[in-house]
Structure 1
Amino acid sequence: MPSITFAYYCSGHGYGHATRVSALASHLLRLPEPDRPAVYIVSSAPKHVFADSILLGARYRNANIDPVIVQPLAYRVDRQRSVAVLKSFLEKKDAILEAEVEWLREIIHADCVLSDAAFLGCLAANAARIPSILVTNFTFDSVYSYLSTTLIDTPASLKDTAHSHFEALVPDIPVPLAELAPLVEHIHAGYRCADLLLRLPGYIPIPSFATTPPLPSSEWVDPLTNRFRADIFASLDNPPTAFTLYPPIQYHGALRKKSLPRQIIPIPLLVRSPSPSVYSPIGRSQFLQSIGIPPHHHNPDSTKILIVSFGGQVFRRPSRSGSPTPSRRISRELSPVRRPVSPPNFRTARGILPSPPSSAKSSGFPHLQIPPGPPSPSEHDVFKAPRLATTSHLWIPGAPPAVKPLPTPISPTRSPTLELQTKTIPPTPDQSGSTYDRAYFDFEREEEEDSSPKLEDLPRLLPDSSWIAIVCGVSKEQWNLDADGGESDLPEGFFVAPRDVYMPNLTAVGDVLLGKLGYGTVAECVDSSTPFVYVSRPLFIEEHGLRRLLDHDGTGVELSRDSYEAGDWAGAIETACMQGQGAKEAKRKDDAAGVGQKREEEGERLARMIIRWTEKRGSGDCA
């Protein structure tokens, strides 16, 4: 029998929470007997997300244990619908809490609760009179509080019809602080019940532990620059002992008070590591071949790889019984172009379309019922296209359509001839003409010469033909549209990753990754020294900590939304590759030699520390 039983509550919001929960659970379950604990994972995220730790013995229970922020796109937030989700969850909170307390005390006899940003897990632990550990880099009281910011998340231009539809559907309107504050207090009070904060890299202030800075989090950020104020940045550099912490919340009905103070302990990056073999030339080639990349693209000296990932990955390792499904290219012969569906209650040629009923699909997980509220489409509603590419656009899963520019040049200095449309310059007037006339026409000629587009200034997806791109997160619908030998609308050099590709391996072989700014992707890029070109999520306050992590430990280059959607990626890719090339080459060399594998050692030390803390807490506090 395991000596300790952990219940690990994982927020259902996103890739980062799930991957790091699975990583820490795996570290705990790799401990030898008698230290090896029992681990129960509780989340609304699908079971397959935690496949790594389940293979090692973790048990999984699906439960709706936290609200989620509603994201119509990978880098957009629907504030009104997010608040509606929070209100609906809080109405059911007491009933959910009662069920969780009974499960902790009577069913699994838990000794401690671990929680990755799920405030209800900390509440349940306190009610069950067992200690709880918060493992995170941010908390959702800060996230929801930030929905009151006066920063308006509106693109600079709306030239594309699809984008215009999206803006009409989801106007970005700040939520009044008076409405948010009492709702956020429920979340904040839950986190206050945690006894220990294991603070991950990429952190921002955790207002339920340190007394400063207080909520609302909108006051942490300068709305003119969308950056933390100088004093907030300065506070992040302080050691944990410099903060004044809130006192512990006592167990309800306990005979004795908690005798141990609350703590903040910084911990290393929690991340799934790539297979060591992927850093060797043979292992790299075998991995790329297993996902369908042609052999002539396997040599890192002649081919550079861009990974394009805005979410939607399936978190499974490649099958042990055989090779994973190879990558595919989508055929243009299979179906006509499907344009974005009309927004709810928008007039079409056939009349007015009714608003679709609210459904659980809006949240991304079928177990979270989204309450009725203001219409808020998902990316599948607004930008639904069954193919990854049309003749004019790329439809990367989780992101808005990006324009397909002219073909990538053959090399940075040798490019195909382009026919450029220019104005006709009137003939130079007769010398007898007035000085005014000569000045006018000379000015026009100079303006025309200056305004002629230069090839290097034209939008490019990839820097040159030595680059290929691998797109992740395709839907089953998009995947099934492939036809062997069919002609593809994907740009030359673009490939589609299998849905079950193991992302740490793919990130490791990549030279640059393009995606949204989230913990899971940032952590895997930092771990593999892969430069990251990111599109900002300005309404997610967590991103301020992630930018800081990239600045300190990785390579990050921001790509504006306008540039992403215009298909003008190449400049940022080149910059990121140049800035991070030295670290990437050193990482590949070290790991190929077997000297770069440190995550397992860090994970084992962390797991043993958690075991010791739990044992000490159990003997030092009354439950």
Structure 2
Amino acid sequence: MDSTAARKANIPSVIISNFTFDSCYSYLQAFNEEASGEQRIETKRLNELVAITVQDYAQAELLLRLPGAIPIPGFDEDIPLPATTWVEDRTGFFTAEIDGKLAKGKDSRMRPRRTIDMPLIVRPLTRSAYEPKTKLALLAALGVPAELLKSETKILLVSFGGQVIPSPSPPTSTDHDLDDGSSPNQTRPHDSLLPPGWIAIICGLPPKARPHQIPDRFFSITDSKFNYVPDLTAIADVVLGKLGYGTCSEVIATRTPFISVPRKMFVEEYGLKRLMKESSTINVEMSIKEFEDGRWASYILRADRLKQQQVPKDHPTSSNHHQQNPKLILNESQNGHAVDIVVDHLEVFMFEKKTVK
């Protein structure tokens, strides 16, 4: 236990996160063996393990709380466990009570363990990310067929936060009825992974994956020089993945529509869904079954259509953007300021610790 070890060694410890695993462990109570596919831990034993984990996190002296946070039991002493009581199945979000408590700032220097809310921190883009030539160079490097080697080609980025994922499977049926805005007389692309005119770039394919194992119009960045995910997120028209802080921060910063595949046993997602909603970032939810069955196309079209409905004319993905995009420079400046805020708080904390000694 890191914080406990630090305390015993008389070393100050700081948590920089939007969640801690004690909440995640506590939330496992909501699932039986049939739902989880795993052997269920007996409730009494699970509660004992959660209590040990809470106590360890509570040994930290400072929490720099990132956006998209859920209750952190070692610091949020007014929010009791279990974590199963924090959410509403009906809405898919936190209860009003929990939502209200999370909305309150906690910059109180009178507490022995204090919490300070941080701004959104995200990996910066390179300055060429939004230049048309960058997208064309990416398509060429991936070996995209000549008919798709053009700026009009749409890109789906498949990214699950660095996790290795299996090659996508072809669709198993055509009976999906998601409303994608098409008329009954139009051909609905429910029997395909990708709509016409789209390609997919996959992050996290096994290194030994062969081209013939990947579906048509799918490409891997494993051996490509274009492997910086923040830039790929900016270039992509839609991102498909799981709700995690890194991915959410990047789609928020680049205003890229997101299709999320929920992990029903992971309570961190509730905080990130709240963040996506507050930031007006497009988040279309795809069930695990739809994902595994390969019925993606309608979700992709829906996310892209929602983007077209809300994108401002000065956004980098608009046809009016310039090579020297002012929004890109502004984002770099804002992110640098956010990092400076974290560093400043850490320096103040360490100065106070030295002064006390």
Classify the TM-score, shorter chain. Answer: 0.7 to 0.9
CA distance in 2, matches of 1:498, 1:180: 39
2:302 is matched by which residue type in structure 1?
T
Match of 1:424 in 2: none
Structure 2 CA distance for partners of 1:604 and 1:583, relative to 1, 3 Å? farther
Structure 2 CA distance for partners of 1:225 and 1:606, relative to 1, 3 Å? closer
Task: Please tell me whether the aligned partners of residues 403 and 565 of structure 1 are also in contact (alpha carbons under 8 angstroms).
Answer: no
2:206 to 465, 475, 493: 475
1:307 is matched by which residue type in structure 2?
L
1:185 to 51, 54, 73: 51
Partner of 2:77, secondary structure, is coil
2:343 is matched by which residue type in structure 1?
A
Match of 1:508 in 2: 234
The yes-or-no answer on 1:269 pairing with 2:135 is no
Match of 1:125 in 2: 6
Task: Please tell me whether the aligned partners of residues 161 and 246 of structure 2 are also in contact (alpha carbons under 8 angstroms).
Answer: no
Task: Please tell me whether the aligned partners of residues 253 and 331 of structure 2 are also in contact (alpha carbons under 8 angstroms).
Answer: no
2:140 to 285, 289, 297: 289
Task: Please tell me whether the aligned partners of residues 150 and 223 of structure 1 are also in contact (alpha carbons under 8 angstroms).
Answer: no
Structure 2 CA distance for partners of 1:498 and 1:175, relative to 1, 3 Å? same
Structure 2 CA distance for partners of 1:149 and 1:548, relative to 1, 3 Å? same
2:105 to 239, 243, 246: 239
Task: Please tell me whether the aligned partners of residues 459 and 566 of structure 1 are also in contact (alpha carbons under 8 angstroms).
Answer: no
Equivalenced residues, count: 340
TM-score by length of 1: 0.49
How far does residue 150 in structure 1 lie from its aligned partner after superposition?
4.3
1:592 to 304, 325, 332: 325
CA distance in 2, matches of 1:524, 1:566: 27
1:461 to 170, 193, 196: 193
CA distance in 2, matches of 1:521, 1:499: 21
CA distance in 1, matches of 2:72, 2:43: 19
Range with bigger deviation, 522-531 or 286-295: 286-295
The yes-or-no answer on 1:531 pairing with 2:267 is no
Partner of 1:476, secondary structure, is coil
The yes-or-no answer on 1:496 pairing with 2:220 is yes
CA distance in 1, matches of 2:149, 2:163: 23
Query: Which is higher, the Rg of structure 1 or of structure 2?
Result: 1
Task: Please tell me whether the aligned partners of residues 190 and 296 of structure 2 are also in contact (alpha carbons under 8 angstroms).
Answer: no
How far does residue 277 in structure 1 lie from its aligned partner after superposition?
0.9
The yes-or-no answer on 1:603 pairing with 2:336 is no
CA distance in 1, matches of 2:141, 2:219: 13
Q: Any idea what the Cα deviations from partners look like across 1:285-343, whole Å, max 9, x if unmatched?
A: 3344344445764544x2110011234469xxxxxxxxxxxxxxxxxxxxxxxxxxxxx
Structure 2 CA distance for partners of 1:290 and 1:601, relative to 1, 3 Å? farther
CA distance in 1, matches of 2:87, 2:40: 15
The yes-or-no answer on 1:145 pairing with 2:26 is yes
Match of 2:289 in 1: 562
Match of 2:178 in 1: none
Range with bigger deviation, 286-295 or 548-557: 286-295
1:614 is matched by which residue type in structure 2?
M
How far does residue 615 in structure 1 lie from its aligned partner after superposition?
1.4
Range with bigger deviation, 223-232 or 605-614: 223-232
Task: Please tell me whether the aligned partners of residues 285 and 295 of structure 1 are also in contact (alpha carbons under 8 angstroms).
Answer: no
1:283 is matched by which residue type in structure 2?
T
Match of 1:303 in 2: 153
CA distance in 1, matches of 2:143, 2:71: 44
Task: Please tell me whether the aligned partners of residues 472 and 499 of structure 1 are also in contact (alpha carbons under 8 angstroms).
Answer: no
Structure 2 CA distance for partners of 1:603 and 1:292, relative to 1, 3 Å? farther
Task: Please tell me whether the aligned partners of residues 587 and 596 of structure 1 are also in contact (alpha carbons under 8 angstroms).
Answer: no
CA distance in 2, matches of 1:131, 1:230: 35
1:134 to 12, 15, 31: 15
How far does residue 541 in structure 1 lie from its aligned partner after superposition?
0.4
How far does residue 263 in structure 1 lie from its aligned partner after superposition?
1.6
1:608 is matched by which residue type in structure 2?
D
Structure 2 CA distance for partners of 1:180 and 1:503, relative to 1, 3 Å? same
Task: Please tell me whether the aligned partners of residues 26 and 81 of structure 2 are also in contact (alpha carbons under 8 angstroms).
Answer: yes
Q: Any idea what the Cα deviations from partners look like across 1:140-180, whole Å, max 9, x if unmatched?
A: 110111111147774xxxxxxxxxxxxxxx73565332111
2:154 is matched by which residue type in structure 1?
K
Match of 1:616 in 2: 352
CA distance in 2, matches of 1:615, 1:284: 46
Partner of 1:513, secondary structure, is strand
CA distance in 2, matches of 1:560, 1:148: 22
Task: Please tell me whether the aligned partners of residues 153 and 538 of structure 1 are also in contact (alpha carbons under 8 angstroms).
Answer: no
1:459 is matched by which residue type in structure 2?
D
Task: Please tell me whether the aligned partners of residues 121 and 338 of structure 2 are also in contact (alpha carbons under 8 angstroms).
Answer: no
Q: Any idea what the Cα deviations from partners look like across 1:416-474, whole Å, max 9, x if unmatched?
A: xxxxxxxxxxxxxxxxxxxxxxxxxxxxxxxxxxxx997327433223x2211112211
The yes-or-no answer on 1:577 pairing with 2:304 is yes
Range with bigger deviation, 500-509 or 219-228: 219-228
Task: Please tell me whether the aligned partners of residues 151 and 223 of structure 1 are also in contact (alpha carbons under 8 angstroms).
Answer: no
Task: Please tell me whether the aligned partners of residues 474 and 499 of structure 1 are also in contact (alpha carbons under 8 angstroms).
Answer: no
The yes-or-no answer on 1:196 pairing with 2:62 is yes
The CA RMSD measured in Å over matched residues stands at 3.3
Q: Any idea what the Cα deviations from partners look like across 1:220-243, whole Å, max 9, x if unmatched?
A: 2235665422211222222225x9
Structure 2 CA distance for partners of 1:615 and 1:297, relative to 1, 3 Å? farther
CA distance in 2, matches of 1:279, 1:514: 20
Partner of 1:586, secondary structure, is coil
Partner of 1:517, secondary structure, is coil
How far does residue 413 in structure 1 lie from its aligned partner after superposition?
8.3
